[in-house]
Structure 1
Amino acid sequence: MSTEPQTPQQAEDPRLAHFPVPFFASVMGLSGVTLALHTAGFDGISLVVLGLAVVAFAVLAFVYTLKALRHPAAVAAEWQHPVKLAFFPAMSISLLLIATALRPVLPELARIVWLVGALAQGALTLAVLSNWIGQRSFQTIHISPAWFIPAVGNVVAPVAGVALGFVETSWLFFSAGMIFWLVLLVLVMNRLMFHDPLPGRMVPTLAILIAPPAVGFLAWLQLNGGVLDGFARFLFGAALVFFALAATQVAKLRGLPFALSWWALSFPMAALTIASFRFGALSGSAGHEVGGYVLLALLCAIVTGLVWRTGLAIARGEICQPE
């Protein structure tokens, strides 16, 4: 047996090369909970969760940067992966959501974080779209609701962008997000209806169907001066329809092993929770406000379970393993 000391490169944990970009969906979920709690008036708890979201983003960003420096081929492989490719904008979306949560308490810092997130989101959206329509050959079976993530990120931008003074830029992001939501909605529904069912680990991503109209509703209110007009009602109604559709598929989750894709349940539920509170406040509907509290309780239970399952999976060494 060799007694020569290992170099840092040799002694490095091999799991670093398999650190997955979908991990950033957890920051989206935590940020969404922060915003939902703030909307419901639980400001103290929301600040605690915001702190957790910021720490989680910092840790994940550091580890993924380390992966990019030491295992660039592994990052390139994720970029070439037809499903994982769509998760790269989860990084920039996380920044936009953190900026949205920071705006009420640290507006100047929120402005800086929003600018960084918006620039990253624009660049990643163009890069992903260029990849989709480039020389690569994608098949219908590669499509999943995760493909909505780049579009959702664009619709997130106006939620804080308008209040931070980036009105025209927010309109640009909103237009891009809504256009690609409609395009991808047709593609995703075609794949779900006429092709093989989603693989087990991708079933939780069905919840992402809720996010584009729910976030679009919140963004439209910002752009439209908080007026609950016909288009706002349409978007909120669409979010409820997709929530009901996703709820019919919950039974498929039973017995499925935990995977990071389960975090896809969190942010869409947070977006719908916030939308329900906002709709109730603007329409004077007590029923929608009560519904918001019910959704908030469900959201907190989901995220608590996801944090527990993620921690357990990390302790068992089930995360960052080759597929």
Structure 2
Amino acid sequence: MRDPAGSGPTDHGRGSSDFRAERIGLLSISLGTAGLGGAWQSATAGLGAPLWVSDALFAVSGLVWAVLLVQYIRHGGWRWRNVLDDLHHPGQGFTLAYIPIVGMLAAGHLSRFGLDAARWGYAAFAAAAAIIAARLLAHWVTGGLAAAPLHPGYLLPVVSAPFISSATASTLRLPEVAAATFAVGVLYWLAFGTVILGGLVANGGGMPRPARPTLTVLVIPPATGGLAWTAAHQGTFDVVGQGFAGLLLFTLLVVAFLLPDLRQQSFHYGYWVFSFPVAAGANFLIRWLHGTDVAGWRALSWILLTAVSMAFTVLYGATLWHARRRRIIASA
């Protein structure tokens, strides 16, 4: 069996399952990059930032998405039985939602090149996201998570995906779909968010250290929910929009206090779990600063966007260095 970081085939069975899990987990790179592209797109509308930066980021996201998805399919991802096994994995099953989420984000971004084509692409990815979320929920409510520690990653397919679907539907001028998917996100945020947060408190910090970075996923629901709401209301920040802003700012404060507990012993690809929460939070805050007309909003928005972009640059560099180091070790 070749090292999972390489490009050669693995053997069947557990090796292929591990390889597929790693490929899907690495889609967090694509998701985070698309999220940063969305933040730059918001800056294009509000700050006059160059659109080519957003286009370039979405191109990189799409390339990573396509390469990893092809590798996943080649190593057994075309079999429904393997997909179900991967989906039911107690720790990583939720990551399959990365596939349609990135697709929906790309459909919204590319809609200016052809609305009808973007709508068809969105419909396919939104349906896939709904199937993944429904299958996960059916598995969870029948005891599929009984032996697994709860963590906020489980919010991604059942809360964040519907909110992203809603925001994209508004971009594609599908208000009825936007309202329907927004309602799904709100319901399951209230339901699962309460259970997961209560479980974390009751567990008393017993979450395994490798899983602790998923605590940053707590940022995604208020960020994507706020983006969905404001997209449906033409960027206007009404009482509900301000409420999402308050939730996001408070959650960011909580995560800031959690940072000492999120430290890892060394760099690994799992650091990319931080990327989409950071990008989505920055995207919403840029829209909020503009929509609320905060004093100095233009300078604050550029400072925020620059800081986030620099953090991503460091993360890209560390990822390339880590991949090169793994290849050297594997070939030694």
Same-fold call, TM cutoff 0.5: yes
- State which of 129, 134, 137 in structure 1 corresponds to 2:137: 129
Give the direction of change, closer, same or farther, for the CA distance of 1:165–1:311 in structure 2 (3 Å limit): same
- State which of 95, 99, 102 in structure 2 corresponds to 1:91: 99
TM-score, structure 2 as length reference:
0.84
Q: CA deviation at 1:70?
A: 7.8
Give the direction of change, closer, same or farther, for the CA distance of 1:72–1:171 in structure 2 (3 Å limit): closer
Q: Please state if 1:12 is matched with 2:20.
A: no
Give the direction of change, closer, same or farther, for the CA distance of 1:37–1:131 in structure 2 (3 Å limit): same
Q: CA deviation at 1:72?
A: 7.3
1:248-259 equivalences under 5 Å are 248-259=257-268
Q: Please state if 1:234 is matched with 2:237.
A: no
Q: Please state if 1:274 is matched with 2:277.
A: no
Give the Cα separation in 1 of the matches to 2:179 and 2:78.
39
Q: Please state if 1:53 is matched with 2:56.
A: no
Q: Is the 2:88–2:144 Cα contact (8 Å) retained in structure 1?
A: no
Q: Please state if 1:38 is matched with 2:41.
A: yes
User: In the alignment, what sits opposite 2:4?
Assistant: none
- State which of 155, 176, 179 in structure 1 corresponds to 2:187: 179
Aligned-residue sequence identity (percent) comes to 22
Give the Cα separation in 2 of the matches to 1:18 and 1:308.
25
Give the Cα separation in 2 of the matches to 1:277 and 1:289.
9
User: In the alignment, what sits opposite 2:155?
Assistant: 148
SS of the equivalent of 1:103 reads helix
Question: C-alpha deviations, 1:226-283, integer Å up to 9, x for none?
Answer: 3311111111110111111111122234443333332121111111111112112222
Q: How many residues align?
A: 308
User: In the alignment, what sits opposite 2:71?
Assistant: 63
Question: C-alpha deviations, 1:282-317, integer Å up to 9, x for none?
Answer: 221134544433332232233223323333333333
Q: Is the 1:274–1:292 Cα contact (8 Å) retained in structure 2?
A: no
User: In the alignment, what sits opposite 1:316?
Assistant: 325
Q: CA deviation at 1:71?
A: 8.0
Q: Is the 2:213–2:274 Cα contact (8 Å) retained in structure 1?
A: yes
Q: Please state if 1:190 is matched with 2:198.
A: yes
Give the direction of change, closer, same or farther, for the CA distance of 1:294–1:183 in structure 2 (3 Å limit): farther
TM-score, structure 1 as length reference:
0.87
Q: CA deviation at 1:102?
A: 1.6
Moved more, 70-79 or 188-197: 70-79
RMSD: 2.4
Question: C-alpha deviations, 1:142-201, integer Å up to 9, x for none?
Answer: 210101101101100121212313221121111111111111221221122221432222
Q: Is the 1:24–1:91 Cα contact (8 Å) retained in structure 2?
A: yes
Question: C-alpha deviations, 1:63-100, integer Å up to 9, x for none?
Answer: 11112258877654432221211111111111111112
Give the direction of change, closer, same or farther, for the CA distance of 1:292–1:273 in structure 2 (3 Å limit): farther
Unaligned 5+ runs, structure 1: 1-10
Q: Is the 1:207–1:246 Cα contact (8 Å) retained in structure 2?
A: yes
